[in-house]
Amino acid sequence: MATSEELHKRRVEAVARGVGSTIPAYVDRAGGGTITDVDGREWIDFAAGIAVTNVGNSAPRVVEAVRAQVERFTHTCFMVAPYESYVAVCEQLNALTPGGFEKRSALFNSGAEAVENAVKIARHATGRPAVVVFDHAYHGRTNLTMALTAKNMPYKHRFGPFAGEVYRVPMSYPLRDGGLDGATAAARSIEMIEKQVGAENVAALLIEPIQGEGGFVVPAEGFLPALREWATAAGVVFVADEIQTGFCRTGDWFACEHEGVEPDLITLAKGIAGGLPLAAVTGRADLMDAVHVGGLGGTYGGNPIACAAALASMETMRELDLAAAARRIGAVMGERLRAIAAGDPRVVEVRGRGAMLAMEIVVPGTLTPDPAATAAISAACHAAGLLTLTCGTYGNVLRFLPPLAISDDELGRGLDILAAAFG
């Protein structure tokens, strides 16, 4: 087998430079909480392929379901000749997502595609043009979703012009907004919407209940419920982007459940199918069914292999109670992260929920972001065999997203490496 170094040489000659990688090691196999490269080196996995392999890599049920489906048929296109697994995934999403009302779902390939479709549905159903998003938001890399995403580098730089009728308002970010309470932070955002956009022009308010790429920003308690209440009164479709927070990651099936918020539409992807590409929009039947027949779809959306994987993943989450696993991981990890923070003034905050935790890194004694220190700690982790990711508008947040199937031993070893990386 070629070595990682040999593969990297080939990659540089074959793969476009614009596609980056966190580590220069090439994967041979992965499972539980460990990734092994072609040279036999191991990394404890605190990335889960960016919150995707919540059930673990090659989870047994997923492997079995995919194998069985591949042998039956690989693709007919649901818009041409439909099949049961697509319907079954939609039934499960309708039942699992918050809100006791009648729901419908539609399946797509990627998170960005789900977000685009949620906007299409909200605009169609309301007849209004505007979409409101938040500071630090991340919603994808297609043209519309770049417009919805906040951060320029690397996501938007020189890729414009971007889609119109997108308006950005302040997020609740307690560390950096003077600790505004949720209701006050929401009132500030709502006033801006009403004065600068006009509620009657707004089709959708789109928000990540805990921001992902933007820095694992957890809004103050009350922020999401206040926005939900305003959206209801204003006839605005409340869309929760749970693409990173979904599928047991935060200790609930969906992060909105934490404060009892019931979105009108939810966008889903990442953790849905154990690593196979699948995404969904799930929401109120009257909104979803407002769109004319044939108005939604795509060649691969709800591919039968991805649907089989999703059904097996959701079954695994239920069977192993991965929401409880996320809470357990969060308790163990949170304690270790807070201990590191107590001994290192560069860590200004430990935050997150369940198995979605982060540390924000600053110049000690200030709120000045320190992306260089963040990158150095991250590099030390990679060198010592722990795969971590960074995020945040200022590039100064270390984020931890282990597979929910990680073993206690792997989790402990990963946290030991992390502690050592702080020196």
Q: Which is nearer to ligand PLP, 33 or 214 (CB)?
A: 214
Candidate ranges 61-69, 188-196, 206-214, 378-386; the one touching ligand PLP (CB under 6 A): 206-214
Query: How far is the CA of 83 from the CAs of 126, 275, 304, in angstroms?
Result: 31, 21, 8
Give me the least distance between CB of 267 and ligand PLP, in Å please: 7
Give me the least distance between CB of 277 and ligand PLP, in Å please: 8
In the list 4, 85, 94, 110, the residue contacting ligand PLP (rule: CB under 6 A) is 110
Residues 6+ positions from 250 with CB-CB distance below 8 Å: 210, 258, 326, 352, 353, 354, 355, 356
Q: Does 393 bind ligand PLP (CB under 6 A)?
A: no
Please give the structure tokens belonging to residue 313: 């993943």
In the list 33, 212, 334, 414, the residue contacting ligand PLP (rule: CB under 6 A) is 212
- The alpha carbon of residue 193 and the mean position of all alpha carbons in its chain are separated, in whole angstroms, by 25
Q: Which is nearer to ligand PLP, 258 or 328 (CB)?
A: 258
Q: Does 244 bind ligand PLP (CB under 6 A)?
A: yes
User: Please, is 147 exposed, middle or buried when counting C-beta atoms within 10 Å of its C-beta (0-12, 13-18, 19+)?
Assistant: buried
Q: Which is nearer to ligand PLP, 115 or 130 (CB)?
A: 115
In the list 43, 108, 138, 254, the residue contacting ligand PLP (rule: CB under 6 A) is 138
- The alpha carbon of residue 406 and the mean position of all alpha carbons in its chain are separated, in whole angstroms, by 19
Q: Which is nearer to ligand PLP, 4 or 282 (CB)?
A: 282
Q: Which residue is at the shortest CB distance from ligand PLP?
A: 111
Q: Does 215 bind ligand PLP (CB under 6 A)?
A: no
Give me the least distance between CB of 140 and ligand PLP, in Å please: 4
In whole angstroms, give the CA distance from residue 243 to residue 111. 6
Residue type (1 letter), 30: A
Please give the structure tokens belonging to residue 277: 């590409």
Q: Which is nearer to ligand PLP, 266 or 350 (CB)?
A: 266
- Find out whether the peptide bond into 161 is cis, omega within 30 degrees of 0: yes
In whole angstroms, give the CA distance from residue 125 to residue 319. 37
Residues that bind ligand PLP (CB under 6 A): 110-112, 115, 138-140, 208, 212-213, 241, 243-244, 269-270
